[in-house]
Amino acid sequence: MSKRKRPDPKSPGGDLNEPHEKKLLDLIRINQGRGATMFELKREKTIPATIVTRLIASLRKKNLIKEVANMNNKGVKHYLAMEFEPCSELTGGEWYTDGALDLSKIEDLKAKCVMILERHRQRVVTLEVLCGYFVKEEKLSVDQTKEILKNLILDNLIMEVKSNGMNEFASTRIGEVCYRLTGKKSGNGEPRAGAFASIPCGVCPHIAICSPDGVISPTTCVYFQKWLDF
Amino acid sequence: MAMSEFGIVYAVHIITVQFGSVVSKVCECLLRKGPLSSRDISRLAESDINHNQVKDILYLLIQHNCVQAFSIEPPDGSENKAIVQYIVLFNNILHRVRYNKFSRLVNEELGTECGAVLDGLLSNGRLTLGQLIERDRDSGKTIGSEAIRDSLQKLVAARFVERIPSPEPVLGNKEQEPAKKRGAKAAKILKEPETLEERVVEAATPVDAIRFPLIFEEDANSSLAVDDSNITEGKRKQRDVDSSDPSSGVIWRPNFEEFIHRLRHKACVEIVKERRDEGCAIVLRAMLEVGRSQEKKVKTDNSAPMSIGSIYEEVIKTEAGRTMLQERVEACLDQLSATSSYLPAFVTEMNDSYIVDFKSIISVAQKDEIEAVVMRRYGKEAFRMFRYLSQEGRFVETDKIADAALTEKKDTPQFLLKMWKDGYLHMQKLAITGTYVPFLLWKVNKLIVTRQMLDEMYHASLNLNLRLAHELESEKELLMLPSDKLEGPLKERVKKVKAKRLLLSSTMFKLDDAIMLFHDF
């Protein structure tokens, strides 16, 4: 008579030999998209630390769990149950592809958003309209669209306003969230330069070590020299 | 605000250029060590200056309103006499570089005759009416004693000029006040403790009726500014004293507080004009005119409430606002009260009254200055991070900042560390059990950033001054030659030096506006 247990027809990928294997799998499943690291699993008091490595290898062989690298710390591996997709904490988020931020895609989307607002310079564009465009044409989610808009606000290129139903808000509902370009910042349409930022000292990386009689001083400063060489 | 290192160095430079290095040594001693008696100054100053020289220097600095004498009441029952100490007035030293701005204000508002009288007071520190008349008589373009008297009265009425403060106010001994037990609520209502400088200035300042008299009583022919009050044991304590002796004249000096007050208002109008439009600027200017007389201090957060009627009445008095209808004024007020992610409200509407929010207007300009530096110095990624942290107003963890700013998670710490190293961000480490490395948390602390920027701006102002002096010194001989006799390359060189001088001077002018924005407004 064979001592081997028959494989459980309900469980995918084969039987669980050890009593702790199921416990380990349950622990990993509970964390869903974040999974668990070897360190966290070995800390579990209900499973002897010495056998965790073997159990993990066994579960992987049975295709019950997968290994995902943490994009913030590639040396740290997380073990996830097969049915879960890695969460944004591990992958970096929707803007990440293979651990790298898709910067050109983000800049492209931002430029398109600014173009839409430029076309409607005299009015505002509602969040609804912008989401409608980006979801349909650029295949973004509503949340991703909002992230792009928030990022443009941080760039100080656009502003978020609430409609009061009048003037430029005439075709929008009162209280509706809208966007417009920040527009003319100073007299000639250029971004405001800032009095301090317009001089060499304002942007100098060595200001902390500059002194009247020092090696770096205003009388010998090369940045001043360039600035006065017109 | 406590004086920063380059604030002190810059102030010492201003005094050195205008009064020489011996005077500036005394000034530096007071700036670095705080209020001292004259004996302590001669002991501690970094130069061999004897006690009599120190006294003369102090009189000079008092004459030019850079130092104020005071004493503290000795404890009850003590037989010690109150020792006279001297405190430096840092703000008044900085004002010395902006006299041309004060002159321009008066010339625009009250005319050139008042401007001439003010210039006399600015260059001499303090004068009597008699001395002003004498000065006018000795000058090339005399305007006559009546005109001088009228101009002085106009300046006093407008509060651009004031009677000098008490020469040696006595402060109560704070340690003697009984300790009162205060609850948390009472502590919040009480105003912040005053600095010693604030206490001294307050104690020295006479009441408004004396400070800005409506009627001039003294004899206009009196040319002596000097008399002695506080004479004890036959000793002269002070040269410049406003005394009750009828043979001396009242001594007048510029009232820097009022100049800063007006410049603050001007700056607010400019800020609104740039960020809203001309119409809003006209309405705001009118509101500031309506509310000005009720403002008790320069750095007031809000104006007094005012009705649409009083605002409109003031708007149509001005040339620019003469053709504005009330509907347009109301539309401008709506615009000024609107908020967005870009701009806060500049005006608050409450119970059919409108209040100017000075704090909001000034903070917008300060934010733009700070963010311009962050953008130019650290780049657009750091700019986004800084703006995100400014909006959040609390500690945020590195990864969250990376998500909000859409920057690479592995690159984000280096931007944050650069800003932190230069004092633009606050950082805290948070160790959590089970994690390999501690979390780094970041925050923008506006007070710390402001202090850091101010110190750098003082440094930059000093640098511009030194560079200008260096440029002019290196072409000193060329500049002494008559310019109409020069030709070819020499003429070009002179043109170049003059262009550099213009650039450096105009830059110093604008940078000083930024310093006032952070320090005085």
Nearest CA in chain B to A92: B409
Say whether pLDDT at B244 is over 50: no
Closest by CA to A125, choosing from A182, A183, A178, A181, is: A178
Option in B341, B463, B511 nearest A195 (CB): B511
Mean pLDDT score, B124-147: 89
Q: Distance from A160 to chain B by nearest Cα, in Å?
A: 5
Nearest CA in chain B to A221: B467
Q: What is the predicted pLDDT for the residue at A16?
A: 53
Find residue A162's DSSP bridge partners.
Answer: A177
Do B464 and A40 count as a contact with CB atoms less than 8 A apart? no
Q: Show the tokens assigned to B118.
A: 């003010």
Quick one: pLDDT band at residue B88, thresholds 50, 70, 90?
A: very high
Do B406 and A147 count as a contact with CB atoms less than 8 A apart? yes
pLDDT for A83-95, tens place per residue?
Answer: 888 777 777 667 7
Domain extents in chain A:
19-95, 102-228
User: Any chain A CB within 8 A of the CB of B426?
Assistant: no
Q: Distance from B450 to chain A by nearest Cα, in Å?
A: 13
Contacts B407 to A, Cβ<8 Å: 101
User: Any chain A CB within 8 A of the CB of B283?
Assistant: no
Q: What is the predicted pLDDT for the residue at B48?
A: 74
CB pairs under 8 A between A and B: 136
Do B376 and A197 count as a contact with CB atoms less than 8 A apart? yes
Q: What is the predicted pLDDT for the residue at A1?
A: 53
Residues A26 and A78 sit within 8 Å (Cβ to Cβ): no
Say whether pLDDT at B215 is over 60: yes
Task: Name B132's Cβ contacts closer than 8 Å, sequence gap at least 6.
Answer: B117, B120, B121, B148, B152, B252
User: Any chain A CB within 8 A of the CB of B503?
Assistant: yes
Contacts B274 to A, Cβ<8 Å: 185-187, 192
Mean pLDDT of all residues belonging to chain A: 81
Chain B residues 319-338 with CB within 8 Å of chain A: 338
- Cα distances from B319 to residues A202, B309, B314, B322, B330, in angstroms, run 39, 18, 11, 5, 19
Q: Show the tokens assigned to B292.
A: 């000005």
Quick one: pLDDT band at residue B230, thresholds 50, 70, 90?
A: very low
pLDDT for A194-219, tens place per residue?
Answer: 899 999 999 898 888 999 988 899 99
Q: Distance from A188 to chain B by nearest Cα, in Å?
A: 11
Q: What is the predicted pLDDT for the residue at B459?
A: 96
Q: Are strands B396-397 and B426-430 parallel, antiparallel or unpaired?
A: unpaired
pLDDT for B419-477, tens place per residue?
Answer: 999 889 999 988 776 666 778 899 999 999 999 999 999 999 999 999 999 999 888 88
Contacts A201 to B, Cβ<8 Å: 456, 459-460, 463-464
User: Any chain A CB within 8 A of the CB of B373?
Assistant: yes
pLDDT for B141-185, tens place per residue?
Answer: 888 889 999 999 999 999 999 999 999 988 887 654 444 444 545
Q: Show the tokens assigned to A88.
A: 């944004």
Residues B361 and B272 sit within 8 Å (Cβ to Cβ): yes
Letter for the amino acid at B300? T
Q: Distance from B376 to chain A by nearest Cα, in Å?
A: 6
Say whether pLDDT at A7 is over 70: no
Q: What is the predicted pLDDT for the residue at B242?
A: 44
Secondary structure (DSSP) of A79-123: EEETTSPPPHHHH--TTEETTEE-HHHHHHHHHHHHHHHHHTTTS
Do A218 and B387 count as a contact with CB atoms less than 8 A apart? no
Q: Decide whether A19-95 matches A102-228 in CATH topology.
A: yes
- The CATH label, of 3.90.550.10, 3.40.50.620, 1.10.10.10, 3.30.565.10, for the domain at A102-228 is 1.10.10.10
User: Any chain A CB within 8 A of the CB of B514?
Assistant: yes
Nearest CA in chain A to B513: A195
Mean pLDDT of all residues belonging to chain B: 86
Contacts A199 to B, Cβ<8 Å: 460, 464, 507, 511
Q: What is the predicted pLDDT for the residue at A57?
A: 87
- Minimum mean pLDDT range among A56-60, A92-96, B311-315, B358-362: A92-96
pLDDT for B28-81, tens place per residue?
Answer: 999 999 999 988 888 887 667 888 889 999 999 999 999 999 998 877 766 677
Residues B165 and B204 sit within 8 Å (Cβ to Cβ): yes
Option in A155, A182, A196 nearest B460 (CB): A196
The beta strand positions in B184-316, using DSSP E, are: 251-254, 306-307
Which fold, A19-95? Arc Repressor Mutant, subunit A (1.10.10)
Q: What is the predicted pLDDT for the residue at B179?
A: 46
Option in A100, A160, A197 nearest B372 (CB): A197
**Which one of A151, A201, A204, A223 makes the best mutation probe of the B interface by having the most chain B beta carbons within 10 Å?**
A201
Q: What is the DSSP letter of B268?
A: H
Residues B347 and B356 sit within 8 Å (Cβ to Cβ): yes
Of A127 and A9, more confident: A127
Q: Distance from A18 to chain B by nearest Cα, in Å?
A: 27
Report the predicted TM-score, pTM, of the whole model to 2 decimal places: 0.83
Contacts B516 to A, Cβ<8 Å: none
Nearest CA in chain B to A193: B372
Contacts A160 to B, Cβ<8 Å: 340-341
Say whether pLDDT at B239 is over 70: no
Option in A93, A153, A185 nearest B341 (CB): A153
**Which one of A95, A161, A196, A211 makes the best mutation probe of the B interface by having the most chain B beta carbons within 10 Å?**
A196
Q: Show the tokens assigned to A220.
A: 């010998």
> Cβ of B406: how many Cβ atoms within 10 Å?
22
Mean pLDDT score, B342-347: 92
Do B384 and A161 count as a contact with CB atoms less than 8 A apart? no
Find residue B67's DSSP bridge partners.
Answer: B88
CA-CA distance, B86 to B92, in Å (whole number)? Answer: 14
Do B373 and A202 count as a contact with CB atoms less than 8 A apart? yes
